[in-house]
Amino acid sequence: MTWRGRVQAKLTAEKSDLWVFGYGSLMWKPDFAYTDMLEARLFGFHRAPCVFSWHHRGTENNPGLVMGLDAGGSCRGRILRVKQSDAPAVMDYLHEREMISGVYKPTLRTLHMAKGRVEKRTALCFVTERKHVQYAGGLDFETQVKLIRNGIGPSGKCVDYFAETIAHMDELGIADGPLHKLLAAVQKKS
């Protein structure tokens, strides 16, 4: 059974809506219908510039660098609620968008949301596959700067993706010094 089939079976059995976790462009450009967008935290993974972008913000010959959920720590982002009736179409869309090369593994994870009291939701998360050829964890700072500065693909410039993601992190009050330092270096005139 495919990941979409497993998720759909769970939604049907539980008579529940689909929740999707956004930590990069899904925070600011989901491009699918949702009914709620709330702040949430995923434990066990952190946001990191650890994926060579060959299809959206770069090419195989001129890769960009985009965010992935990498092992360890935690990640604050946004969780989007999709009506159960819209879930199959949204999962098809997300498959086309996120699974273009298999660098992400779609998985259901528990997320924590704080709204006066702590609540948990099970959400679809796209976790980075460390064994995939596009995994870019552990790159030195200057290589990261170069990839972000020079990456351009069908979805636009890598630097624009990075700036939008950081802007939305700022909007949520997410302080991440290393990512802010990286963006400042990318935007600095040579």
**DSSP per residue, 76-120:** EEEEEEE-TTTHHHHHHHHHHHH-SSS-EEEEEEEEEEEESEEEE
Q: What is the pLDDT of residues 107-148, one digit of tens each?
A: 999 999 866 557 899 999 999 999 999 999 999 999 999 999
DSSP secondary structure code for residue 190 in this structure: -
Domain span at 48: 3-187
Strand partners, 106: 126
Here the CATH number for the domain that contains residue 89 is 3.10.490.10
Classify 138 in phi/psi space as left (phi over 0), alpha (psi -120 to 50) or beta: left
What phi, psi does 82 have (nearest 5°)? -115, 130
Instruction: Give the chain's domain count.
Output: 1
pLDDT value for 6: 84
Strands (E), the chain: 18-22, 36-53, 64-82, 104-115, 117-128, 152-153, 156-157
Strand partners, 42: 75, 111
Alpha-carbon span 159 to 26, nearest angstrom: 16
**Is 106 a residue whose pLDDT tops 60?**
yes
pLDDT value for 97: 92
| Residues in contact with 60: Cβ distance below 8 Å, sequence separation at least 6, in sequence order | 54
pLDDT value for 1: 78
